[in-house]
Chains A and B, each alone.
Chain A
Amino acid sequence: MKHLIHAEWTKFRTVRGWVIGMVVAIPLTVLIGLLGPAGSSFECAGPNGQKCAAQTPPTLPDGTPVFDNFYFVHRTLSGDGTITARVAPLKDAEPWAKAGVIVKQSTKVGSAYAAVMTTGGHGVRMQYNYTEDIAGPAKGQWLRLSRKGNTLTGAVSADRRHWTTVGTTQLDLGSTVEAGMFVSSPQHVERTQSFGSISEDGSPTTATTTFDEVTTDGEWRKDWHSTEVGGPSEMVETGFTEQDGRFTITGHGDITPVVQAGLGRSVENALVGVFAGLIAVLVVATLFVTSEHRRGLIRTSFAANPRRGQLLAAKAIVIGGVSFVVGVVSAALSIPLVTDLEVAKGFFLFPSSAWTEIRVVVGTGLLFAVAAVLAVAVGSLLRRGAGTVTAMIVGIVLPYLLAVASVLPAGPAEFLTTVTPAAGFAIQQTVREYPQVSASYTPGDGFFPLSQAGGFAVLCAYAVLAAVLATFALRRRDA
């Protein structure tokens, strides 16, 4: 086997066009990737002439962009304490309109918090620090949030006597916190999709509800204050009234992680050039097999080594290995270069840990390797260069184009990115789906229906199937 791999490596190394093709894939990937941000700019004509930077959302310490916008009626709490309130159900509200009790580090946008709330359509929830969400029972008007040391406990009750704990969490909010009642209501978004374009129509909404029998335990400062966290809206009226301990609060906004934002870019956006590089790699991988058939060299190869399956394996190993290196280098160069340009152009970046970036870089290498092995197997089956390259591009790139460049509606788009080899691009996904945020999670928005490993497994399954068929056909057919 070792000498076979050496022989195949020599074949690859000594054909100038193949080496050039593989090497060219790297700058091709980077340059096409740079085209995206290079051709992008913003018109930041805010009403007060704000700069683009003023339009980017606040971020958590780890860089996660968040929305932090709600109506807050609060008092200052020192040390441990509890707040209990009866919250009337939200009527005719957005599914993710929220009303409940909250403990927040400060009224500053983006500060840490924990809250237990009733929602327009998702029952009682406990949420904290924007990204975390725990589902509670569907009903229960009494909400209670208590702080003991750094432990925050949210509970719900239907009758104020029997309490069910929704969740607990450890949060260091400091010695004094702002705590009280809040109401938020996200934008109402209508998505209309037609071929080639999606238009989103968002309008701000408000939610109103009443809080009564509000009781507090602990060291609370006396008067209730109201704050429009995140600033007041120019489009809708918000506010609160109090009468005999009965608070009526109208709020708008949302407290969630940002899932999509016009100006936000994630790691995978830097890798759009991968398609161009992949096509170059696929062409070389195909030629690596089909040109032997065309020139008749395959008969010499089989005469030298009659175990045909082994020859195919050696080819797959050599071209897979080279493609892996090309993929890794392309991605490792693209990510820093493209993100630098994106930042220079004023985009904000969705955060990604070094570990995530390594995963994406290695994932791109694996994607190239497995796609190249698939090309070798299909090339061995079809024995035709043009047919094989077409099959590969139509199988891998066209479904992605139809699904992601928003040509198809969500249903067929998810189908295509599940059953075709294009599912393998899921390995590049870094954006996270939040069940508590209503957003569109379609392939066009960067969300693949399968997990990273699952999508990649689909591509691998195609490669394995093609390799088995190719081995079988090699044995049965004349060379």
Chain B
Amino acid sequence: MTLLHAEWTKVRTVPGPAWLLFGAVALTVLLSALASGAMPEGGDPAKSAFLGITLGQAAVAILAVGMVSGEYGTGMIRTTFTAMPRRVNVLAAKGLVVTALTLAAGAVAVLASAATGDALLPNGLSLSEGPIQRAATGSVLYLTLIALLSIGVAALVRDAAAAIGVVLGLLYLTPIVTSLVSDPVWHDRLQKLSPMTAGLAIQATMNLDQQPISPWKGLGVLALWAAGALLAGAATLRLRDA
């Protein structure tokens, strides 16, 4: 509990996180609104209405990376570890705090995106439908997993700029590379492994049989990425000097 309280105080008392959460919401809603307004005929309404997540996740990643790398940058991490020598628990506390913050901001962003989508999409968007609900809750969970992935990578890489480069490179590069691979087996495999493509499968509400991976399985792939990053980060924390 002390650990959580300490992390919460750290987040609460600097202006950065609040701005980043606000930025995540604003960016998500902005791109979602643009995509909803420009949806081609036959497009997936949920994918359009929640496209902004692809942009909003960048702000969430900065927030999460900053919670770890920021302490390394200023040397604060040594004070933290002196006060709380159980390093893995510190990482867990950071993970919990960032999860709570991202869940809250993600919920606001997704609800606002759903509202703009309802207004801008030709046939509207109703949160009472099962698949749309799944896309909406899944998008919030997606953001949370991105935050956890970022925490893990930051613990591994330490430097903020390098960590954010790794996270965003992993997210944004894999779809670009995948689009050039024409072998159907490899194309399919890469789509299933790519954290962003697989994770965002949760937003698909149409032609589910043509998606590279089923919605919840896709989110599971991203969860595995996040878990892997957290494990690697925790191991590094224990083994390396702070």
Interface residues, chain A, with chain B CB atoms under 8 Å away: 17, 21, 32, 35-36, 39-42, 192-197, 262, 269, 272, 275-276, 279-280, 282-283, 286-287, 290, 294, 384-390, 393-394, 397-398, 400-402, 404-409, 411-412
Contact = CB atoms under 8 A, between A and B. Distances in A.
Contacts of B182: 39-42, 262
Given A385-B159, A390-B58, A40 B186 contact: yes
Nearest to A282: B165
Interface residues of B, number: 48
B34 A283 contact: no
B168 A279 contact: yes
Interface stretch (B39-47, B108-116, B128-136): B39-47
- Helix, strand, loop or mixed for chain B's interface? helix
Given A275-B176, A389-B168, A397-B172, 10 more contacts: A39-B182, A39-B186, A194-B207, A287-B159, A388-B161, A389-B161, A393-B172, A401-B176, A404-B176, A408-B38
B57 to A, nearest CB: 10
Contact of A393 (B168, B186, B207): B168
A282 B168 CA distance: 12
A370 B187 CA distance: 33
5 contacts: A195-B47, A384-B160, A390-B61, A394-B168, A405-B175
Interface of B: 34-35, 38-40, 42-44, 47-48, 51, 54-55, 58-59, 61-62, 65-66, 69, 73-74, 159-165, 168-169, 172-173, 175-183, 186-187, 190, 206-207, 210
A412 B38 contact: yes
B55 A398 contact: yes
A390 B62 contact: yes
Contacts of B178: 405
Contacts of A32: 173, 177
A178 B176 CA distance: 48
Contact of B161 (A195, A276, A283, A411): A283
Given A269-B180, A385-B159, A397 B190 contact: no
B165 A272 contact: no
Minimum-distance CB pairs A-B, first 10: A385-B161, A36-B180, A39-B186, A39-B181, A386-B160, A283-B165, A40-B182, A409-B40, A405-B179, A393-B168
B159 A41 contact: no
A275 B173 contact: yes
A137 to B, nearest CB: 37
Given A398-B172, A401-B176, A411 B38 contact: yes
Contacts of B69: 386
A393 B160 contact: no
Nearest to B178: A405
B161 A35 contact: no
Contacts of A194: 40, 42-44, 206-207
Contacts, number: 134
Question: SS class of chain A's interface: helix, strand, loop or mixed?
Answer: helix
Contacts of B47: 195-196
Contact of A195 (B43, B62, B159, B186): B43
Query: Which of A276, A388, A390, A408 is packed against the most chain B CB atoms within 10 Å?
Result: A390
A294 B172 contact: no
B38 A409 contact: yes
A226 B57 CA distance: 63
Nearest to B45: A195
Given A36-B177, A276-B173, A398 B54 contact: yes
A192 B42 CA distance: 8
Contacts of B162: 17, 21, 283, 287
B20 to A, nearest CB: 9
B51 to A, nearest CB: 8
B173 A193 contact: no
Given A40-B181, A404-B179, A397 B168 contact: yes
B165 A280 contact: yes
B239 to A, nearest CB: 19
